[in-house]
Amino acid sequence: MKTRDQYRHVLENTLGIPFTEHNAVDVLVNGKEIFPAMLEAINNAERQIDFLTFVYWTGKAAQDFAHALAKKAEEGLKVRVILDCYGAAFMAEGLADLMTDAGVELKWFRPLSRWKVWKTDNRTHRKVLICDGEIGFTGGVGIAREWEGDARDPSEWRETHFRITGSAVSGLQAAFMENWVETEGYLPLQPDWQRDDREPLSENDDVMIQAVRTTASVRWSDIVMLYQTLIRIAQESIYITTAYFNPNRQMVQLLSEAVDRGVEVQIMMPGKYNDQRLARLAGEETFEELLEGGVKLWYYQKTMFHSKAIVIDRMVSCIGSANFNHRSMLKDDEINLVCINEALATELISNFEDDLEHAEAIDKSHWERRSFIKRSVEKIITLGRNQI
């Protein structure tokens, strides 16, 4: 297996983005852990809060975040919020006014009624919270009732989010600022405060992190290059969890080639409970080829599975907002963090193995016997694959 520095060298040379050192990453599983950690960071902030999300709907979490952000603005902190105009279209009435009346600088990303209609299909799918420039959060969580609880039943979604401390928080800040500049139209030259230089928190505070952000493009994005690189350099194992699985032909081929060279490849995605039926059908068209190539596919059956991560060789983890689908690779603004750390990779694989208790393997012989109608629907859906 490659050393930490070898993985770092390949990824830096391929993507042109340097790693930062002396970071710490905490894995937060389901809303029961995620929301209290995020709200604690907001409540403890002393200078500035930057918050960017795609989904902001209804429920206790939606109320809690609005009130917490409004309270900090009333205390005199600089609080900036960006909500995607499509993802937050069903936000509970009155919450936006609650925040703005308290002094929160709230901006809507790419309003749907605009003359640049070609941009309305390109959203910001990023999820970023930064408090005082010292602590950051990213991953897949949305601010809504669906994410509350502990994935105990179909009403509580299965999610993974991450708390980041260290220099890598600057990468999250850059993802926020890129969208802020578009909504606000200016870049402040004098920050209200400067992040303090910090020493490593402990001997275990040694996660190397590469921040990879991508925007909608007519060409393959850095997320595509990142995913291709991770698959190509894997030597022992690839674990993928994703809410929406819709790879292109090149990705399917790369995954099959990885198996050919002795790499164990496992992919978990939503099964029975799925909030995007068309996305599932588009991805299923690739299953036969993947199963033929030796890739192990799993449907998570307990509730909607919204977690996103890639782990290779029990060493390198890719976490953040991007799914393994066309929309994340081409259509939306995303932020992913590549982390080199054995302990983090081991924890994510352990979570994967725990999720297997609620997952169903997709059997190759059974899949090959699916009906002609099912095959036809898959083919029809793939005509619009680039939109999913």
For the ranges 99-103, 199-203, 290-294, which has the lowest average pLDDT? 199-203
Confidence bin at 284 (pLDDT 50/70/90): confident
Q: What is the mean pLDDT of residues 132-153?
A: 97
Confidence bin at 388 (pLDDT 50/70/90): low
Structural domain total, the chain = 1
Highest mean pLDDT among 120-129, 309-318, 360-369: 309-318
Confidence bin at 2 (pLDDT 50/70/90): confident
Q: Kindly report the CA angle at 328 between 250 and 68, in degrees rounded to 5?
A: 155
The partner residues of 103 in beta bridges, in order of sequence, read none
**The pLDDT value given to residue 127:** 98
**pLDDT, tens digit, 9 for 90 and up, residues 11-40:** 999 999 999 999 999 999 999 999 999 999
Confidence bin at 330 (pLDDT 50/70/90): confident
Q: What is the rounded distance in angstroms from the CA atom of residue 170 to the CA atom of residue 157?
A: 29
**279, pLDDT greater than 60:** yes
pTM for the whole thing? Answer: 0.92
Q: What is the rounded distance in angstroms from the CA atom of residue 335 to the CA atom of residue 348?
A: 19
Q: What is the mean pLDDT of residues 152-174?
A: 97
Q: What is the CATH number of the domain that holds 99?
A: 3.30.870.10
**121, pLDDT greater than 80:** no
Domain encompassing residue 52: 4-387
Q: What is the mean pLDDT of residues 227-244?
A: 97
Q: What is the mean pLDDT of residues 168-195?
A: 81
**The pLDDT value given to residue 120:** 61
Confidence bin at 327 (pLDDT 50/70/90): confident
Q: What is the rounded distance in angstroms from the CA atom of residue 202 to the CA atom of residue 299?
A: 38
Residue 368 one-letter amino acid: E
Contacts of 20 (CB under 8 A, 6+ apart): 166, 167, 168, 170, 171, 208, 209, 210, 211
Structure tokens, 369: 């016997």
For the ranges 73-77, 179-183, 209-213, 284-288, which has the lowest average pLDDT? 284-288
Structure tokens, 353: 């193995």
Which residue is it, tokens 């032909």? 249
Q: What is the rounded distance in angstroms from the CA atom of residue 111 to the CA atom of residue 120?
A: 7
**381, pLDDT greater than 70:** no
- Through-space distance between the first and last CA atoms of the chain, rounded to whole angstroms: 35
